[in-house]
C-alpha cells in the first residue's frame, strides 16, 4: 500500500531558516511542498523518509533564499493492482460505493463491481446484496461506516489544473514534480468475489 519514491529536486530554503540545521530546514520545506499532495504517476505523498544526497547550496540573484539540489525518498500511498485492502463505507449512490481509508477517500466500487444480485435502495440510500441460501434470499445491507474488504482493480491520475492560455515553453526538466499542475488520484475497486465485501458478512 505504501512505497518509497525516489525523487531529485532543487529545494529553496528561505532566509529566515538559515540559522537552522540545513537538513532539518530542507526536510521541512520538502514536507511543506509534498505532504498530502498527489504527484502524477507517483501517488499520494505522505511524509519524507530520508535525504540520500545533498549538493552544494547556492543563492540566485534577487532571491534571498538558498537553493540546494537534493535526492530523497518519500513515503507514497499507491497500492498495487489486485491488492486487498480494508476501509470503511463513506457514501453510496446509484453508481457506486465510496470507500475511505481515513487519510484517502477517493476509492470507488462501481455498481458492476459489486456482488451479483446487488440493488440500490432509494429510501435507505444504500446498496443491498440479495444473498441466496437454502432458506431463501437474505438482504445484506451496506451501511455507511461499515468496514469493507475490497480489491484494487484500476487507478487514475487526473489533471485538475484550471485550463487557460499559456505562452510558456514546455518544461523539459527531468523533475517529476510539476509545480503548475494540480493532480487528483482515484482508485477503482471491486468486491464481486467470495471473501470480499463487508467484514461482518464473512465473520464466523
Structure confidence at residue 31 as a pLDDT band (50, 70, 90): very high
Domains and CATH numbers, the chain: 2-77 (3.30.1490.120), 84-201 (2.40.50.140)
List pLDDT tens digits, range 118-164.
999 999 999 999 988 778 788 999 999 999 999 999 999 988 776 66
Structure confidence at residue 96 as a pLDDT band (50, 70, 90): very high
Q: Closest Cα partner for 28 from 9, 47, 43?
A: 47
Alpha-carbon distance values, 184 to 2, 165, 181 (Å): 17, 22, 10
pTM here is: 0.81
Place of cell 469493507: 148
Structure confidence at residue 181 as a pLDDT band (50, 70, 90): low
List pLDDT tens digits, range 99-117.
999 999 999 999 999 999 9
Amino acid at each position: 500500500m505504501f512505497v518509497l519514491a525516489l525523487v531529485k529536486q532543487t529545494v529553496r530554503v528561505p532566509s529566515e531558516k538559515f540559522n537552522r540545521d540545513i537538513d532539518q530546514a530542507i526536510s521541512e520545506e520538502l514536507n511543506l511542498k509534498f505532504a498530502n499532495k498527489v504527484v502524477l504517476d507517483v501517488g499520494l505523498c505522505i511524509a519524507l523518509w530520508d535525504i540520500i544526497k545533498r549538493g552544494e547550496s547556492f543563492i540566485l540573484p534577487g532571491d534571498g533564499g538558498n537553493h540546494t539540489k537534493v535526492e530523497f525518498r518519500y513515503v507514497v500511498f499507491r497500492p498495487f493492482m489486485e491488492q486487498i485492502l480494508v476501509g470503511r463505507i463513506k457514501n453510496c449512490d446509484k453508481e457506486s460505493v465510496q470507500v475511505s481509508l481515513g487519510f484517502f477517500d477517493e476509492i470507488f466500487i462501481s455498481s458492476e463491481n459489486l456482488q451479483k444480485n446487488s440493488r440500490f435502495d432509494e429510501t435507505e440510500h444504500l446498496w443491498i446484496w440479495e444473498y441466496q441460501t437454502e432458506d431463501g434470499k437474505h438482504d445484506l445491507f451496506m451501511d455507511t461506516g461499515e468496514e469493507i474488504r475490497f480489491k484494487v482493480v484500476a487507478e487514475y491520475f487526473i489533471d485538475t489544473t484550471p485550463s487557460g492560455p499559456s505562452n510558456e515553453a514546455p518544461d523539459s526538466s527531468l523533475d517529476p514534480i510539476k509545480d503548475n499542475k494540480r493532480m487528483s488520484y482515484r482508485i477503482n475497486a471491486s468486491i464481486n468475489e467470495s471473501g470480499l465485501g463487508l467484514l461482518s458478512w464473512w465473520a464466523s
